[in-house]
A and B are shown apart, each in its own frame.
Chain A
Amino acid sequence: MKLSYRFEQTSCRLRLDGLPDYSAGQGQDVIGILTGWELSLAGHPALEGKREHLAALMQAVLPYARHLVSGVPRRFGGEDNPVQIQPMEGEASVMSHRVLVRSSQPDTSPLELAFDDAELSDLVRCLDQVRLDPRVQVDFALPAEQPLPRREILERIPLRQRLASPLAAMAALAITTSIGLMLPLPRRPAIPTANPAATEARPEAAVDPVP
């Protein structure tokens, strides 16, 4: 029996078609074998494909959203991936996101979509619904959410700002050292026991006979 489920979030609607995988012991209302899907986005052409394509979309969009929450958006999906997403600096403070969808069909140019933050968050919420719905038991090979390492966080700080503190510290050290070198060395204080006059006077007194 063919199943069809619909997930909606404001400007985004995703329809999944599939069948239960009885060999995996799934119930009759669970999609275990995804036969097709269609994603309708307001103001953009509809996308459709098979399980692999939806997995590629999720594998690019969800980690991108994860990085966006940490304030370090970067490109996801390589040149040979069906879906690629990267940040695009738009007008003023509105950051847009460019999604490139490649078809494997010959003579089909890649489709480029530009999303604003609101459209992207709709898409992410829609994909979250699919990911967490117990009625959809499809393996999308999504990586676990992990804290970002220091290396990736540092990228959001401009190089000039990042180098400012160590350079200031080195300059302060150099100035202090040069001032220290310019100061004259203190004279060695006279030690009473090492006074040559006192040591020389004593043998003279012993040698000189008393008249």
Chain B
Amino acid sequence: MFKQTTAINKTNTLMKNYKVTDIKDTRSGFGDALLELGRKNLDTVALNADLTSSVKMQHFAREFPNRFFQSGIAEANMISVAAGLTIGGKIPFVGSFANFVTGRVFDQIRQSVAYSNKNVKICASHAGLTLGEDGASHQILEDIGLMKMLPNMVVINPCDYNQTKAATFAIADYEGPVYLRFGRPKVPNFTPLDEKFEIGKALMLNEGNDVTIFATGHLVWKAIEAGIMLAEKGISPEIINIHTIKPLDTDAVLKSVLKTGCVVTAEEHQMNGGLGDSIAQLLSRTMPAPVEMVAVKDHFGESGKPDELLKKFGLDSPDIANAAIKVMSRK
């Protein structure tokens, strides 16, 4: 059983060495990209519901006050106003905590945005357990499921600051509704600055033969840590970053599982309705293989520090490594 929570990659041919350039929050990646977008494209507009600085939209708001719309604590109106802004050719970025721009306004998103196929970018911070001390009322773990069920909706969950920034640029160029999920804590930033973000294209982080770990969001780094632990034991892990949960890169998933024959999925979300659910659905229809899911198992979160919560709810790197050992035994 793996117990340590951090691993240092000593030279090991089974696992690529990733360099952490700095420790930064994904929400800042979004905010910094939004400011640049505002400078580049005058059709970029932004809305927020009284959480402007928390979602890092204050830079845009300050520089473009005529293109920033403070909506007050009224998210339903904000979502539908954003849909209306697209009617005049604007590209609205709607920001709040993930809980308040998904569950609270599901019907507005469903009718005014997804069904109407409007070019609205729903940008959700503080997703998942790592929001931390505020507790379960704010720690939404159902948002990926809610959003991926909607036809027309693209669902993206980048892993670090650089990738969130790149994803923000990518969704601005994409025409159609998008759910972009990011978070509050400062986490290792390791995505190369020049790495292109392609919506719907999975990223190979480590090629291996024994087991595939599909991870998304903050748990991508945890999957890399797990990979180091596995490599130390002589196991060859394949690690793939699924930043786009919908549309799922089915080719990448199937190609990898054909090689490794077993799967671990890792995400900061309920097991029901998340990434693991999407991958299991694909595999059961096309290429049945054993799957272990590292996810929250039908529980609400609670107050605590982000790392304490990931540990308590079984989403830490040793949990991913242990799931890999377990799923390999089921091959």
Q: Do A and B originate from a single complex?
A: no
